[in-house]
Chains A and B, each alone.
Chain A
Amino acid sequence: MSLKRAILLVMLGGAVVPAIGQQIELPGRGTDAGNASRPKVDETALRYFASQGDTRRLEAEIARLRALYPDWTPPDDLFGPQTDVELQRMWKLYAEGKYGDVRSAISMRQASDPSWQPPPDLVARLTEAENRRRLINASDAEQWNTVLRLATDAPGMLTCMNIDILWRVAEAFAKTDQTARAVDAYTYVLNNCNDAGERLATVQKAMPLLTDDQIQTLLKLERKDDAGNPEFAALRDDLIRRRMGHAAENPEYSVPDSDIKRMEELARKETTPGDPLLLGWYLFRHDEASRALEWFKLALDRKGGPKSAEGYVLALNFLGRSLEAEPIAYEWRNAAPENNKAYLDVVIALLTADPPPVLDEIVLSRFSPVVMRDKYVPGAQALGWYAYNTGQIVTAQSWFETALNWDPNDEPSAYGLALTYWRLRDIARVNAMVQSWGPRSERIVALVDPAVRARLEARNAQTSLAGLRIDPLVAAAARLTPTPSLQPPPLGAPMAGNARAYQQGAATGFVPLPGASQYGQTQFQPVPQAGGVPSSALAYQQQAGGLPGTTIFPAGSGLPAQPSYSGQYAQAGDLDAVPTPRRRPTARSVARTGNTQPETTSSAASAAVARGWRLMDLDRPMEAVKAFDEGLARGTGRVSEDAAYGKSLAYLRMGMTNRAQAAALEAPQNPRRAVQLSGDLLAQRALAAYKDKRYVEALIALDERSRIAPEQQDLMVMRAWCYFKIRDLRSAERIFRALELQGNTEGRNGINAIDQETRKVRSG
């Protein structure tokens, strides 16, 4: 024992040196001091234990005294009658842990007999016992310096007998940024203490306080148990969990594959959610969202609680499966702040998706109250963008206004609002917004200032080149490139009228497109469609008949031959290329929705859609709309999707772009088809705007389109002429030169026109 103590004294370092002098029990002090006489051995404790018949303590005491005084032998009269009854009572109280009573008794005897001194051994033990309690109290109260001070003042208690004290001292070192000393303390225990349970517990205690490397150092002190197995084998898995947990929180770290494999084994073998959850977070944070998803799912199934739900939702959202995530996110939203955040993120991801998906009414109707309750500005903003992107401009305006009310300094909300005013042709309010936000928002100014717009565009291009992952809200706003000058909105009337109908809904919650609500019961089913894809040129093909001979540039503009896109359009496939919607069994969706629609209705709807396509073949789009409408009203699932698609194509053919867009939203379109349809719609809108000399809007439509589909030469030509018309000659020239390089003759024409224009300016 004395050797161990000496080791620990060294460990405690310089501060301990004065304490050594106070050591009562250090062996050989008597002889060292030159005292030749045999040291007087304090046998009072021994006699007390003997009188109590406490053989365990008696033996321990004999062993202790023998270690201290090698020449000493126990007295023969150990079990004889005791003479000092009072002292015996003090030992009794001490053995019972009544230290206050012992103190009181010593004090009382000293008061009555000033010459009496308590046995040093009793005082030393009492002091140590009190210090032990005090140290535990200080440690419980996280008064680490007190813990260390007490340990330094009374290192006698730092033995394997007091393993709890050793642990607390080690913890105090760790909590006062002296982890090296904490390692020393644990090392001391593993070198000197032999209780198997305590040794295991020592490493467990060390794990939350030390680094991996330090733990590895401790593990080197591992021994074999009686059966010859490594004693810390049971901790290996804990260590893996610890490493993985650390790496899950700090993704710059990773763990070896063997760790993952072992954890996967454990996670499968056990029935608790802990390990699957840990795996989920680790994998999710290390860019393996789809693997993580499995484990989060398992954790959730094992009732892993809010963290499992959060992980599951985040993983789904990350994988672009926000629609699937939404109901779970909603269910768990109140479990913890993180779950609420996950829910909001999921819905915001849905609302700001590009192109906007058709959302089940319930998604919107339960999101709006949460946004209203929390006055959650990004939520209101996302609702605004969703409304905006689905053509519900007045509803968008209302959400942006709400967001701005909650946070009057929120620029993105202001931008959204300015944009809705712009779309609603409310020039006065646009100007007012520019007035109040001018100094704070370039892009709001860009709505009325071409120079600012050009600058912003250049910057946007750079950002998108950099491929930065950005906030979905920022992306949603950025998709809508500002415009150089205020133009009368071309298609405002139907749009605004349409939107007004939903404004009422905005007050209570979000009422989506009326068509959509009709299909609200059917799940949005992203069914990848391999065939039947309409060529992107289709839309132009429909329009092509009207194009040749159309004067795109105003007469007398002094421009060379009118740029015409008809050439390209004419190359589009003929009517046979129109996709004939594939008939699909609706059984699956019926089974899933529990919809027991009569077969007759279903086939009647299919028949109506088929009739619609035939009418389209006959170039009778107006009648086709009616047929598709019938299909929409009576059909479900795939049939209604086809009907909506047909209807929107019919409107496109009639040049009624906005209606086409609205029709496309009447039934959920599969994503790929929706993208193509949106692309066609936007190209169509750009062309319509161009023909009406609304070049800014044409550019907006082209910008929007370019984000979902590559821009072909014909549209590039249109874009270049738009820039030319709004006097952004540099942008125009850049595109014309690119066209020329690609062998497009329109490129040269454009460059000539620009030269002519600049000469005119110089000469004038």
Chain B
Amino acid sequence: MMRALLAALLLLACASLPVRAQSAIQIPAPAWAAYMERFVEDSGRVVDGANGGISHSESQGYGMLLALLAGDRSNFERIWSFTRTELLIRDDGLAAWRWDPNSTPHVTDVNAASDGDLLIAYALARAGAAWNIPPYIESARKIARSIGQKLIVISGNRKILLPGVNGFSESDRPDGPVLNLSYWIFETFPVMARLAPEFDWAGVTNTGLELLGIAQLGPARLPPDWISAPPGKPVTLAEGFPPVFGYNSLRISLYLLRAGIDNTALQEPFRRNWLIENGGTPAIVDIPTGRVLTRLTEPGYRMLGAVLACALNATPIPEDLRRFEPTLYYPSTLYLLGWALVAERYPRCL
């Protein structure tokens, strides 16, 4: 396995230079095959085993994006078939976010989640361009428009991205709008702007960057998973959510790098907490006290630190992280996204 992976990496390193980034294969075939084997059912359902075997619009979107990055047209189609048939059923054209194999009907929460919709639309648009499949682009355009209509709203002088259609806005909550900065998948916004130029995606990007600069809360100065960002008032922890820098926010660093946003000030809290204070290992951090609650030692999470070190200091990816072994759906996904980034942008770290 390892040999195969290394061989694939060598191939990749040679091949990636002349090929356009759009169609470059950034995830080695064996790694992708292992991911498919472990997390994707034949039906095209991407299974989040740590959450009771459910699927969600996010897992389906990640699955499609990874299939694209692995150059796997066939399984992209497989995952998209499930996504379209089972989740893309909302009247407003967005995806229902939660699908449970143990419930009938399977969709147990028809609310939308903006990161899932962004990932699906983004993967479709890129796949449609890479493989010249116009129906993908058409589907991507419909979703992008729906995101623009339903999830992008004005709050004070900000263009914000709501986490979902229901339950987060100023009118839905006294501390609204409640936002999740890890739903700002920055690399998707320029693509959305091409699909649905009538919406202010640049404004959304700017709000995300602005809030990331502001929401460095607590002694560790890390962005909480869920923030309350009422217009004209300070950003605080959102009521009713765990007051942590947790599984949501830890992907922000990767998202910034993947989008090519080289803003060292925004990466500083991640660098300090992961690379300086915790030896390269991300952690769940209690915002009010700054205390580390759980160190996240799984390879997929450590990969986030490694990618950051690579981007900032050209630190090579550690040997033990050069081999993909699927663990749980979420860290495995982050691992492959990180690997794809390094393979594309920072091949010197490999």
Contacts and interface: CB of A to CB of B under 8 A. Distances in A.
A530 interface: no
B85 A130 contact: yes
A99 B42 contact: no
Contacts of B77: 103-104, 106-107
B88 interface: yes
A144 interface: yes
Contacts of A105: 74
A133 interface: yes
A107 B84 CA distance: 16
Given A111-B74, A137-B86, A141-B110, A100 B91 contact: no
B78 A103 contact: yes
Given A137-B105, A140-B107, A104 B74 contact: yes
Given A108-B74, A137-B105, A101 B85 contact: no
B85 A140 contact: no
Interface in B34-82: 42-44, 73-82
Contacts of B88: 134
A146 interface: yes
Interface in A122-151: 130, 133-134, 137-138, 140-146
Interface in A72-104: 98-101, 103-104
Given A103-B77, A104-B77, A105-B74, A134 B84 contact: yes
A144 B107 contact: no
A134 B85 CA distance: 5
A107 B107 contact: no
A107 B74 contact: yes
B89 to A, nearest CB: 4
A149 B90 CA distance: 11
Contacts of B178: none
B96 interface: yes
Interface residues of B, number: 26
Contacts of B110: 141-143
B295 to A, nearest CB: 38
Contact of A100 (B44, B73, B105): B44
Interface residues of A, number: 24
A141 B96 contact: yes
Nearest to A111: B73
B89 A107 contact: no
Contact of A137 (B74, B80, B107): B107
B90 A98 contact: no
B44 A141 contact: no
B85 A133 contact: yes
Contacts of A100: 42-44, 78-79, 81-82
Nearest to A133: B85
B91 A101 contact: no
B90 A101 contact: no
A111 B90 CA distance: 31
Contacts of B91: 143-146
Contacts of B78: 100-101, 103-104, 107
Nearest to B80: A103
Chief secondary structure at chain A's binding surface:
helix
A101 B80 CA distance: 11
Interface in A537-592: none
A141 B76 CA distance: 26
Contacts of B75: 104
A301 B78 CA distance: 58
B42 to A, nearest CB: 6
Interface string B164-207: 00000000000000000000000000000000000000000000
Nearest to B93: A146
Nearest to A93: B42
Given A130-B81, A134-B88, A141-B107, A101 B42 contact: yes
Contacts of B85: 99, 130, 133-134, 137
A106 B78 CA distance: 10
Contacts of B43: 98, 100-101
A215 B224 CA distance: 57
Contacts of A141: 89-90, 96, 105, 107, 110
Nearest to A148: B91
Nearest to B131: A111
Contacts of B131: 111
B265 to A, nearest CB: 43
Contacts of A108: 73-74
A133 B91 CA distance: 16
Given A98-B43, A140-B105, A134 B74 contact: no
Contacts of A140: 105, 107
A101 B96 CA distance: 23
Contacts of B89: 134, 137-138, 141, 143, 146
Contacts of B86: 133-134, 137
B132 to A, nearest CB: 10
Nearest to B41: A100
Nearest to A129: B85
B41 to A, nearest CB: 8
Nearest to A136: B105
Contacts of B107: 137, 140-141
B218 to A, nearest CB: 39
Contacts of A142: 110
Interface in B86-121: 86, 88-91, 96, 105-107, 110
A99 B89 CA distance: 17
A101 B91 CA distance: 27
Contacts of B90: 141, 143, 146
Contacts of B76: 107
Contacts of A106: 77
A107 B73 contact: yes
A137 B89 CA distance: 7
Contacts of A101: 42-43, 78
A138 B110 CA distance: 10
B29 to A, nearest CB: 13
A105 B110 CA distance: 30
A140 B107 CA distance: 8
Contact of A103 (B81, B96, B105, B106): B81
Interface of A: 98-101, 103-108, 110-111, 130, 133-134, 137-138, 140-146
Closest 8 CB pairs of A and B: A140-B105, A108-B74, A107-B77, A104-B78, A138-B89, A100-B44, A145-B91, A103-B81
11 contacts: A98-B42, A100-B79, A103-B81, A107-B73, A107-B76, A107-B77, A134-B84, A134-B85, A137-B85, A137-B106, A138-B89
Given A103-B80, A110-B73, 17 more contacts: A100-B43, A100-B78, A104-B44, A104-B74, A105-B74, A108-B74, A130-B81, A130-B84, A130-B85, A134-B84, A137-B85, A137-B86, A137-B105, A138-B89, A141-B105, A142-B110, A143-B90
